[in-house]
Structure 1
Amino acid sequence: MEYLKDSNWVWCPSWNSEDKEKPRIVFFRKSIDIDEKIKEAALHISADTRYKLYINGKFIEAGPSRGDLQIWFYDTIDIMPYLKDGINVIAVSVLRYPQDPEKGNHGMFRTPVPGLYVKGEIRTVSGKQFVLSADASWKCKKDDSVLFIREEERFAPLIIHENAIGNPELFGWKTDTYDDSLWDAARPYINKQISKAISPGNLYPRTIPFMYRKERQFSGVMDVKKSGYTGQDWADFINGKKTLKFPAETEEIIELDAGEEMTGYLKTEFCHGKGSKVQFLYSEAYVQNGFTGPEKIPVKKDRADNMNGHLQGYEDTYSVGGFGSPDMPETYEPYWFRTFRFIRLHIITGQEPLTLCSMHYEETGYPLQVQTEVTTSDNTLADIWDVSERTLRRCMHESYEDCPFYEQLQYIMDARQQILYTYAVSADDRLARKCLDDLKRSQRYDGLLNCCYPNCNPNVIPGFSVYYILMVYDHMMYFGDKKLIEEHMPAIHQILNFFDRNLTPQGYVGKIGGMNMETPFWSFIDWAEEWNDTTGMPPAGVNGPITMESLLYIYGLQHAAKLALFLDRREEAHRFSEKAEKVRNAVRTYCTGKNSMLQDGPGVEEYSQHCQVFAVLTDTVDTITGTGNLLETIKNKKYTQCTVAMCFYLFRALEKTGLYQYTNQYWEIWRNMVRNHCTTCVEAEAYARSECHGWGALILYELPCVTLGVRPAKPGFRKVRIAPTAGYLTHASGKVKTPVGDIQVSWKLEHGNCKVEYTVPEDIEVLPAPV
């Protein structure tokens, strides 16, 4: 009977209750003797939680892409190029996280069924078949040599760092010379045990490309803290020109430079040296003594100042097994990629000399193809572009990420901006589509989305659900996919219904959240310095509603109305617009101070730039009032200012009010990053915990879409508007990649007039700039 047959899922028969409570690695192997010419060879593969596939000792791919308890992904891989005549070994390393989310990576779901899924076959020219599917013919063994550790006791969303021991019993386990006779036969799951209605049985094909891997070397030596070798010796080592031999019972401390913020798989090779201990400390920057803010973030100045600063970060520790030789070195490669700019290598040898043979890494990330290019009259913007492009790349893997170093979670507010940046430089929406689908699946019973997803833990920031509505709108304008919009409209309705249910009798949004960890929902708005003590929320929200949540609700209604119109749902669009107007009237009545500015909370005499920005964007105030209020916050810094996170919306308001020339002063935030030798954009000026935060790559949107003025005028980019905004610049030119092809624009200010030239693809209508 079908339900009693093997499911192509297998696991380790010795798996026990202790194994379930900590992250564990299990190795799987299958040998095939191929004696004929191969016609085709492919396999489908997945795992709970992660797999790494090797064929004949060579790494092939890692996966699966992140799913959840409703959807699980598998990969299809053509393995024919990696096979050879004779014995072939397919080897898979599976990392299984415990079901308790606090004991494993927050962004990777796991199910009650740990397992490896393989289905496939090899066909020869003569018609002979070799079955690859996972069954009892596969061998398996638990890897007891790696212990995964928490990066911090308080908050550890990754749990990817390792204490590892070199194990001679596993040396060469991926190759055809390895003896696996003592390994267990894998235990198959029958179909009855793997429900196809829920994860991991409900398998779906991968929707995004595989991550790229690029061989890289360290760029230099930052400091020789303690070593029997000179800095030049170490430079020759990292360039592959020599090996380094350390005597027994000695200590080496060296700090290496990758040259830029990096996400990569580190690989270090050793010979001999049994009992040596090697520690790898990964750091984004040199930090100063002392801390700042309630979260005690280290003080940061010049990120490359190794004379006055020190490295701080997370560590891997590897105890050398001593079984490596020059021909077959012992290798340590952490399972998950690492984020680093600098690495401190600390070696303590045991009773046997150790030879360090090599140390390099493979850069990895989403295969983003940046094709947009812009030059302007402000040469400083070129360095900001470089830093920002790198930031976007480092925050794109199998999902968009807030930061690659600390969390690797896909936050909605961050991702909305990152997606726009991606559209502007590459017109690639594959990761965006997955992001939208991920977020839709996170919807709660009350209509709100998890503020970051995939995430095994609940975490709700009410306003972030509005940014999801904006994401759907952005996709409509760039790609015009009605089917996608229709799929997301039910989720949009539920989000808006949540805010509607929480309106006060006066008509504005009531108190729906508070400070992080103190209320069920977190009313985060921005990491403004004045709001650090209230965890990124205006202090008005401690005791009552905040105006920003009403403004966000209005903004969401307005964009939902445009989505409804695109679907020809005019009555629905009218209802959204009517509701938006009612809430706007309530905000005008109850949240306007004596100075005509919007207050941070109804009747609370506290003001921020944020409320003035969104008052402009939502037309809650008229143009003259909005321009005056915004200008007041620019000239008077007593008002809480937008930080890196919110500058995208600030720049939209500056553009709308004709104040775009003031962007020059806000670009100083990024110029300071460059001066401080940042290679990626920091999380916030006053809260620089993360050195690489995707929302900071703002210039990737500003230069092509505003400075060159290339934006969709109608859904799907079939009609384009080319309306350059000069601001403080005098000329600009470049090529903008769009979903309908490349658009070239060049403009120059002459005697106060802007002379614009452009070329667009055939059949694309250019609409005149709005008056």
Structure 2
Amino acid sequence: MTTRASLATTGLGLCALFFSAAAFVPSPPSEPAPPAVRPWTARWISVPGASPTGYGVYHFRRRFTLGSVPGAFVVHVTADNRYQLFVNGVRAASGPARGDLFHWRYETVDLAPLLRAGENVLAAVAWNFGPDAPEAQLTSRTGFLLQGDTAAQKDVDTGPAWVGRRDDGYEPLLLKPEEIRHQYYVAGPGDRLTAARHPWGWERPEFDDTGWAPAQAGPPGSSREAFDAPSPWMLVPRSIPAMEERPERLERVRQASLRVPEAFPRERAPFTVPPGTSARLLLDQGHLTTAYPELVVSGGKDATVTLRYAENLWVPGTGDKGQRDEVDGKEMRGLRDVLVADGGRERLFRPLWWRTYRYLELAVEARAEALTVDDLRGAFTAYPFTRKARFEGGGPELDRILDVGWRTARLCAHETYMDCPYYEQLQYVGDTRIQALVSYYASGDDRLARNAVEQVDDSRTAEGLTMSRFPTRLPQYIPPFSLWWIGMVHDYWWYRDDPAFVRGRLPGVRSVLTFFASRQRAGGSLGPMPWWNFLDWTNAWPTGSPPGWNFVTGWGGPAPGAAEPGDPNGASAPLDLQLLIAYAEAADLEEGLGSTTIAAEYRQAAARLRAEVPRLYWEERRQLYADTPARTTFSQHANVLAILAGLAEGQAARALIGRVLSEPDLVPCSIYFRHYLHAALNRAGEGDRLLDQLGPWRRMLALGLTTWAEKEDPSRSECHAWGASPNFELPRTVLGVDSAGPGFRRVRIRPFLGRLTQVAGSVPHPRGEIAVSLVRRGVGLDAEVRLPEGVEGELVWAGERRPLGPGLTRLRF
């Protein structure tokens, strides 16, 4: 469903977009609908002589005349790899939203607010990152496509009437391994712009383009359902809103080799680097951000200006980061952009893609002419989530944990969810499941989650397995992540009222389980598995794979106590338990929306595993589940999953989670897997212990982190949104707000206040908001609960259940 939004205010000019940029709108029905554009008659265009797959930045322009300004002037626009569209010098759109060739997104934009009577100019820049593109960037070949919505707009369709030229000023600036401390990095190159070769003002209507060549017309666009599609891009409408973009100032100068105005960088305060000198400034944003840095310079012909970006500084000669606020005696490493000045006035440099940084280094090498730095600012960008959840009464520390978690969640959400914004920018299933839950509880906006569930489904192979991450140019497979994807589908079914969308995912769920079923032994346990069977980043498991399933060779070797790589007798309790959970979740989905026959088959498969797992892994002496049938290694993971799989209930579950927390030799859950540890506390009825399990988050705060790290030090990434799980667990467990049925149509309030005596808060709901206020009186409780219209539920306290109806309910226990 396409609806017209109000005028966009996200930095894209004043054009009216056909999607809301910020406000939460309940997810529309997921009934299949024809594409908005059919047929496509505009042609993909490129610059004559340009490499179809190599690095390149290209400009296109189209002049046209209007007798009067129309009430609407709608166009559909996309590019490979990416584009920005300007109308009469004002940026109107950018994209496309990331996808794959079989689901290539286009944006629909109403340009009427930017048009005028007489001559108008559409101008676009499209670029191809080339062979060093971000891993998340799929591509066929360089191209730009724009089509008017009706006959009245057909005059602007891309084709030979457009003109274009290559921008010879741009070059990719590849990141050297030593610049990133040899960490895994796949987020694309920096930009080097030689200003003297750049056509300044190319987007403005008065720019002289008479020397530009007619664009080279390629095949017409084609919708995904087209018969004998003439082009490789199967076009589908964008399903998420425009990214938020707003001004953002750096906070302060931490180091400087020359005197700068006291107001810089909090305000525009120009300063000059004299001829033949160099200058270096270390600037501090105060917190991690994702933003387009915007550097404005004047003069300084041939001066080199370098911007370098880092999440943190490093202790030289070590892998240590230390206290993140400290800068003395540390070194700066990371991605950089370079501008070679041309001597012009007020030259604005803004990289093609946003950057991630807390610390930004500005280095200038002036030549024969002084260079003036007129300004250096940022334009924050991320998915336009709005924080709607409230949690009050936990004290300043919990407030900080929630604030940092929200920032982490935001910086890891753009056109897709992503594991981290600095190093990879890839949508991994394990991370994304937690991110989606945070989105449901903190914002109520499920559009990015729907996009993620669908994109992972799109990645499935003929064998039935999903990729571990998608979109991605390099296929990677983590079989356990396919099981977590089933969990994502179940979460969406449980917390969002959109059964048609979930029903459309059932074929994918069945395919995944068919893949696993073919690899089960007679008793139900899984045999050796292909690919990378990652479970958690923990020091005992160098590859992240638990004992018994570590079949990765040439990377860290087998984990201590694990079966040798490729051992045909390898078996793993954590992975068998994860499969058991997936069977149970899939059975729920089938019973609710699909086939009761298939549901019964899944229940039977789950029952078989439920009997086999204790036989293989339960160690009676220790009253714990071991990691392998050898019963020589034990982890929190196996026992947490046993609780979540229902192998321990009631008092047995409480006793088991107690041993999980007290036994010192268990392999501990990292920040990532503590989400499941916290879920097991809730399920076991031991949620009062949750507040005591936030040690990793408290330690990160003490180290000065402003977002949650991938894992505790030593850690690569400073921003991994799986660490934002407290933004889900605190309202779900402490405040007690949870779904009690599909679609959140029934609510269960079961609070675990721990040491707290008074809490209040709210959680967005598909039909409105759930608001809760709780005051504990010894073992009693006073409660006020407000549910949305049409929603009922119950409040559970000390084993007693009381009904809740729509509107306000006051209870005393």
TM-score, normalisation: structure 1: 0.91
Range with bigger deviation, 194-203 or 377-386: 194-203
User: Whole-Å Cα distance in 1 between the matches of residues 743 and 39 of structure 2?
Assistant: 49
Q: Secondary structure at the match of 2:585?
A: helix
Name the residue aligned to 1:176.
Answer: 205
Correspondence list, 1:2-21, <5 A: 7-15=42-50, 19-20=51-52
The match for 2:417 among 400, 412, 416 is 400
Q: Does 1:120 align with 2:148?
A: yes
The Cα offsets for residues 75-130 of structure 1, whole Å up to 9 and x where unpaired, read as 111112222344432111111244xxx5322111112x42111012799xxxx867
Question: 1:506 Cα shift?
Answer: 4.2
Name the residue aligned to 2:431.
Answer: 414
Name the residue aligned to 2:367.
Answer: 350
Closer/same/farther in 2, CA of residues 82 and 487 from structure 1, 3 Å limit: same
Q: Which amino acid aligns with 1:267?
A: E
The match for 1:132 among 140, 156, 160 is 156
Question: 1:722 Cα shift?
Answer: 1.6
Q: Does 1:46 align with 2:78?
A: yes
Q: Secondary structure at the match of 1:47?
A: strand
The match for 1:708 among 732, 735, 744 is 735
Question: 1:450 Cα shift?
Answer: 0.4
The Cα offsets for residues 154-178 of structure 1, whole Å up to 9 and x where unpaired, read as 7442223122211355011111222
User: Whole-Å Cα distance in 2 between the matches of residues 193 and 748 of structure 1?
Assistant: 60
User: Does the CA contact (< 8 Å) of 1:265 and 1:361 recur in 2?
Assistant: yes
The match for 2:196 among 146, 154, 167 is 167
User: Does the CA contact (< 8 Å) of 2:68 and 2:116 recur in 1?
Assistant: no
Name the residue aligned to 1:518.
Answer: none
Closer/same/farther in 2, CA of residues 635 and 357 from structure 1, 3 Å limit: same
Correspondence list, 1:360-375, <5 A: 360-375=377-392
User: Does the CA contact (< 8 Å) of 1:712 and 1:720 recur in 2?
Assistant: yes
User: Whole-Å Cα distance in 2 between the matches of residues 413 and 152 of structure 1?
Assistant: 29
Closer/same/farther in 2, CA of residues 534 and 430 from structure 1, 3 Å limit: closer
Name the residue aligned to 1:734.
Answer: 761
Question: 1:21 Cα shift?
Answer: 5.1
Question: 1:334 Cα shift?
Answer: 0.5
Q: Which amino acid aligns with 2:762?
A: K
User: Whole-Å Cα distance in 2 between the matches of residues 597 and 650 of structure 1?
Assistant: 15
Correspondence list, 1:617-766, <5 A: 617-766=644-793
User: Whole-Å Cα distance in 1 between the matches of residues 784 and 53 of structure 2?
Assistant: 64
Q: Secondary structure at the match of 2:145?
A: strand
Q: Secondary structure at the match of 1:253?
A: strand
Name the residue aligned to 1:89.
Answer: 121
User: Does the CA contact (< 8 Å) of 2:590 and 2:599 recur in 1?
Assistant: yes
Name the residue aligned to 1:523.
Answer: 533
Correspondence list, 1:47-66, <5 A: 47-66=79-98
Question: 1:378 Cα shift?
Answer: 3.7
Closer/same/farther in 2, CA of residues 192 and 21 from structure 1, 3 Å limit: closer
Name the residue aligned to 2:324.
Answer: 303
Question: 1:372 Cα shift?
Answer: 0.9
User: Does the CA contact (< 8 Å) of 1:436 and 1:468 recur in 2?
Assistant: yes
User: Whole-Å Cα distance in 2 between the matches of residues 493 and 152 of structure 1?
Assistant: 44
TM-score, normalisation: structure 2: 0.87
The Cα RMSD (Å) is 2.3
Q: Which amino acid aligns with 2:468?
A: C
User: Whole-Å Cα distance in 1 between the matches of residues 351 and 267 of structure 2?
Assistant: 21
User: Whole-Å Cα distance in 2 between the matches of residues 511 and 385 of structure 1?
Assistant: 40
User: Does the CA contact (< 8 Å) of 2:271 and 2:374 recur in 1?
Assistant: yes
The match for 1:146 among 153, 170, 178 is 170
Name the residue aligned to 1:275.
Answer: 302
User: Whole-Å Cα distance in 1 between the matches of residues 563 and 212 of structure 2?
Assistant: 60
Correspondence list, 1:213-252, <5 A: 213-224=245-256, 226-227=257-258, 229-230=259-260, 233=261, 235-252=262-279
The match for 2:493 among 440, 459, 476 is 476
Closer/same/farther in 2, CA of residues 215 and 115 from structure 1, 3 Å limit: same
Name the residue aligned to 1:32.
Answer: 64
The match for 2:612 among 586, 592, 602 is 586
Range with bigger deviation, 686-695 or 539-548: 539-548
The Cα offsets for residues 277-300 of structure 1, whole Å up to 9 and x where unpaired, read as 111110111222354xxxxxx212
User: Does the CA contact (< 8 Å) of 2:532 and 2:545 recur in 1?
Assistant: no
Question: 1:622 Cα shift?
Answer: 4.9
The Cα offsets for residues 730-771 of structure 1, whole Å up to 9 and x where unpaired, read as 221012211111121011221222322211122211234394
Which segments of 5 or more consecutive residues in structure 1 lack a partner in the other structure? 292-297, 514-520
Closer/same/farther in 2, CA of residues 122 and 265 from structure 1, 3 Å limit: farther
Question: 1:541 Cα shift?
Answer: 5.4
Closer/same/farther in 2, CA of residues 631 and 97 from structure 1, 3 Å limit: same
Name the residue aligned to 1:295.
Answer: none
Q: Secondary structure at the match of 1:683?
A: coil
Percent same amino acid at aligned positions?
29
Name the residue aligned to 1:387.
Answer: 404
User: Whole-Å Cα distance in 1 between the matches of residues 303 and 485 of structure 2?
Assistant: 50
User: Whole-Å Cα distance in 2 between the matches of residues 641 and 164 of structure 1?
Assistant: 48
User: Whole-Å Cα distance in 1 between the matches of residues 268 and 100 of structure 2?
Assistant: 46
User: Whole-Å Cα distance in 2 between the matches of residues 443 and 241 of structure 1?
Assistant: 50
Q: Which amino acid aligns with 1:71?
A: H
Q: Does 1:563 align with 2:596?
A: no
User: Whole-Å Cα distance in 1 between the matches of residues 394 and 724 of structure 2?
Assistant: 20
Question: 1:713 Cα shift?
Answer: 1.2
Q: Does 1:534 align with 2:562?
A: no
Q: Secondary structure at the match of 1:630?
A: helix
User: Whole-Å Cα distance in 1 between the matches of residues 388 and 710 of structure 2?
Assistant: 26
User: Whole-Å Cα distance in 1 between the matches of residues 769 and 370 of structure 2?
Assistant: 59
The Cα offsets for residues 361-394 of structure 1, whole Å up to 9 and x where unpaired, read as 1111111011111112443100000000001111
User: Does the CA contact (< 8 Å) of 1:285 and 1:342 recur in 2?
Assistant: yes
Question: 1:68 Cα shift?
Answer: 0.6
Question: 1:566 Cα shift?
Answer: 0.8
User: Whole-Å Cα distance in 2 between the matches of residues 502 and 187 of structure 1?
Assistant: 52
Q: Secondary structure at the match of 2:638?
A: helix
Range with bigger deviation, 473-482 or 183-192: 183-192
Question: 1:262 Cα shift?
Answer: 0.7
Which segments of 5 or more consecutive residues in structure 2 lack a partner in the other structure? 1-37, 548-558, 800-813
Correspondence list, 1:284-303, <5 A: 284-291=311-318, 298-303=319-324
Closer/same/farther in 2, CA of residues 535 and 470 from structure 1, 3 Å limit: closer
Question: 1:535 Cα shift?
Answer: 4.1
The match for 1:110 among 122, 139, 151 is 139
Q: Secondary structure at the match of 2:479?
A: coil
Closer/same/farther in 2, CA of residues 174 and 490 from structure 1, 3 Å limit: same
User: Does the CA contact (< 8 Å) of 2:519 and 2:527 recur in 1?
Assistant: yes
User: Does the CA contact (< 8 Å) of 1:711 and 1:722 recur in 2?
Assistant: yes
The Cα offsets for residues 601-620 of structure 1, whole Å up to 9 and x where unpaired, read as 22140111000100111023
Correspondence list, 1:415-454, <5 A: 415-454=432-471
User: Does the CA contact (< 8 Å) of 1:122 and 1:131 recur in 2?
Assistant: no
User: Whole-Å Cα distance in 2 between the matches of residues 218 and 562 of structure 1?
Assistant: 50
Q: Which amino acid aligns with 2:175?
A: E
User: Does the CA contact (< 8 Å) of 2:47 and 2:164 recur in 1?
Assistant: yes
Closer/same/farther in 2, CA of residues 599 and 121 from structure 1, 3 Å limit: closer
